[in-house]
Structure 1
Amino acid sequence: MNPFSYHKPTTINEAINLANLTSRFIAGGTNLVDLMKENVVRPKRLIDISGLPLQAIEATANGGLRIGALVSNSELAWHPLIEQGYPLLSQAILAGASAQLRNMATTGGNLLQRTRCQYFYDTGTPCNKREPGSGCPARTGLNRMHAILGASAACVATHPSDMCVALAALEAVIHVQGPRDERQIAFADFHRLPGDAPERDNHLSDDELVVAIELPPPDFAAHCSYLKVRDRASYAFALVSVAAGLKIKGGIIEDARLALGGVAHKPWREATAEQVLKGHAPSEALFTQAARVLLQGARPLSHNGFKVPLAQRAIVRALSEAAFGNTYAGATP
């Protein structure tokens, strides 16, 4: 681990003024510390934001919720307003990591965690995300966990978060603050696909800080399901995960949300797949059709072709659980 300076600001403005290209914000540290230990990232300055006033969960004027960036994953998952109004988010968080990690990990940090690709962590191998232009050995190497959607010649890594898959389905909004002002970023626009610049995971500037996540008024509490398919039932990243939310009235689907995890560089949504569901009665045939549309651009690699049929079955199951009950937040292949 390289030497670095440490600062613990007491105000948001002080934290932002300390930020630059060679610094990193740290809160729970559940991802950043690992990356520093492995020499994947080498910040010259750590800015400890754990003491900033970003730990509230508050109702918004329009009936939604504003969640401070420093709210722990555990607190968020078990908060009564989340359990009642946004059970999809609670299910997703509880499907991720372990209780100890959820106690430390923060809401803002979860958004910013880096890919868990083994080549990214192994500094003895090339990686375009770690060293732009060096290559992507995962394309022809060990790629069982890697992307089947939205990948590029430069990177086939997947985003590891469970929480973010639910936030994508719920159409959350990210509040970030920089040296000039605060701005809002729609969740769909926050993370990037790799393209030819996989080293950039999101659209934040180096001197911007995530301060809150805003959820719209609850609309999918009655019919939702988060399904995570993984190699083992505890502390494993998703092979495929599905966040499904339905708004059903008179036996007909009025609105639908569907997001995939474990398959792309960011949570994966496709509006045309959701449109397939609207205006129809829930059925396995309808859910199968939506799954095909959502996966129509899949481009599997040498070792992860199984993800395509696995994702199709997972989508049908998650939508069925959302429509008819029996919600289940974890599964093994």
Structure 2
Amino acid sequence: MRPFSYVSAPDVATAVHAISTEPNAKFLGGGTNLVDLMREHIERPDTIIDITRLPLTEIEELPGGGVRIGALVRNSRLAADLLIRTRYPLLSRAILTGASAQLRNMATVGGNLLQRTRCLYFYDGAAACNKREPGSGCDALGGFNRNHAILGASDSCIAVHPSDMCVALAALDAVVEVESVRGIRRIPLVEFHRLPGDAPHVETALATDELITAVELPASSVAANSRYRKVRDRASYAFALVSVAAALEVQDGTVTAVRLALGGVAAKPWRAHEAERVLLGAPATEESFRRAAAAELAPAVGLPQNTFKIELAQRAIVATLRQLLTDGSAA
């Protein structure tokens, strides 16, 4: 690990001022991804700004029934929070499927939003990776790409976003609050992460001098009947081949509200807008679920080793909606 300067920020104002004045600086929260990247010489900050002392550790109920989550709330605490488990159960379940208990105890909400891909070629300094070194190429295209993207990929990058939590947040219409010396702005979670295009190294809408301060969840009646399904190679400590965050509301046999997002299929949490469009107002039946899943995956493009993910994603959508229909009927 190369030498770096260290700054401890006692408040948000100090933190955002430091990031605006220190060249090549990074914020340090839980450190579960950043420290690994520094050890691998992928991230090479000249200055680390420690934000662990900032007052961003609360989970608060908002007027109207929404929830505000501080950026430094630990993943384990968020998953265990009664308000989250009751109103947004898919978020709690998504977090508990990710990483290990030890990592969840350290990882923060803000850090989870910013974690980088786990593509093997991104971590291999001898491999070509446009995300790590723009313009160098993408060895994953002709290499081992079983875990890679089937939606929203480009000739420059086929890596996928690794977060489980972010998939749930995408389905829940979450909004990310960020702050800089210019003030505060709010970014819808579905617009926070970027698809690769020809600039895969630009991964989010966050400016280099902005600090994530909170995530807000709007009130949602449909979220009470929700589920997160993760399909992976082993039962624990594995990234998703495909995951589904879903919420469903049915009245008199008709879908009256639905939220769907996919993980493991793109460089960002993939909000399934087309599937939602097909389902809304349709009969809550297996046939409707299959039609919606097929519509969402119609643009998918597989590679020799990951084409199976297209059918896998469709089956996972159908199975998740089927379970929600059963859960909702039993409620």
Interval containing the TM-score (normalised by the shorter chain): over 0.9
Q: Tell me what 2:278 maps to.
A: 276
Per-residue CA deviations over 1:220-244 (Å, capped at 9, x if unaligned) read: 2442111000000000000000001
Per-residue CA deviations over 1:260-301 (Å, capped at 9, x if unaligned) read: 000000011232210111112321111111100111110111
Q: Which runs of 5+ in 1 are unaligned?
A: 327-333
- Quote the Cα distance in structure 1 between the aligned partners of 2:225 and 2:289: 14
- 2:5 matched to 1:5? yes
Mapping 1:136-147, distance limit 5 Å: 136-147=138-149
- 2:93 matched to 1:87? no
* Alpha-carbon distance, 1:302 to partner: 1.8
- Quote the Cα distance in structure 2 between the aligned partners of 1:283 and 1:247: 13
Contact 2:172-2:223 within 8 A present in 1 as well: no
Identity of aligned residues (%): 58
Q: Tell me what 2:209 maps to.
A: 207
Amino acid at match of 1:195: G
Q: Tell me what 2:61 maps to.
A: 59
**Which portions of structure 1, spanning 4 or more consecutive aligned residues, are displaced by more than 4 angstroms?**
none
Contact 2:65-2:218 within 8 A present in 1 as well: yes
Task: Look up the SS of the partner of 2:257 in the other structure.
Answer: strand
Task: Look up the SS of the partner of 1:275 in the other structure.
Answer: helix
Contact 2:175-2:189 within 8 A present in 1 as well: yes
Number of residue pairs matched by the alignment: 326
- Quote the Cα distance in structure 2 between the aligned partners of 1:21 and 1:155: 28
Per-residue CA deviations over 1:65-88 (Å, capped at 9, x if unaligned) read: 000000000000010000110001
Amino acid at match of 1:176: V
- Quote the Cα distance in structure 1 between the aligned partners of 2:46 and 2:260: 40
Contact 2:88-2:224 within 8 A present in 1 as well: no
Mapping 1:1-333, distance limit 5 Å: 1-19=1-19, 20-325=22-327
Contact 2:262-2:272 within 8 A present in 1 as well: no
Task: Look up the SS of the partner of 2:270 in the other structure.
Answer: coil
Distance 1:214 1:222, change over 3 A: closer
* Alpha-carbon distance, 1:251 to partner: 2.8
Amino acid at match of 1:107: V
* Alpha-carbon distance, 1:145 to partner: 0.6
Distance 1:219 1:80, change over 3 A: same
* Alpha-carbon distance, 1:45 to partner: 0.6
The structure carrying a bigger helix percent of its residues is 2
Amino acid at match of 1:9: A
Task: Look up the SS of the partner of 2:222 in the other structure.
Answer: coil
Q: Tell me what 1:331 maps to.
A: none
Contact 1:176-1:182 within 8 A present in 2 as well: yes
Higher mean C-alpha deviation, range 15-24 or range 232-241:
15-24
Amino acid at match of 2:115: Q
Per-residue CA deviations over 1:158-215 (Å, capped at 9, x if unaligned) read: 0000000000000000000011110000111100000011001101011100000000
- Quote the Cα distance in structure 2 between the aligned partners of 1:268 and 1:250: 29
Contact 1:229-1:238 within 8 A present in 2 as well: yes
Q: Give the TM-score taking structure 2 as reference length.
A: 0.96
- Quote the Cα distance in structure 1 between the aligned partners of 2:224 and 2:12: 37
Q: Which runs of 5+ in 2 are unaligned?
A: none
* Alpha-carbon distance, 1:18 to partner: 1.1
Higher mean C-alpha deviation, range 174-183 or range 12-21:
12-21
Task: Look up the SS of the partner of 1:91 in the other structure.
Answer: helix
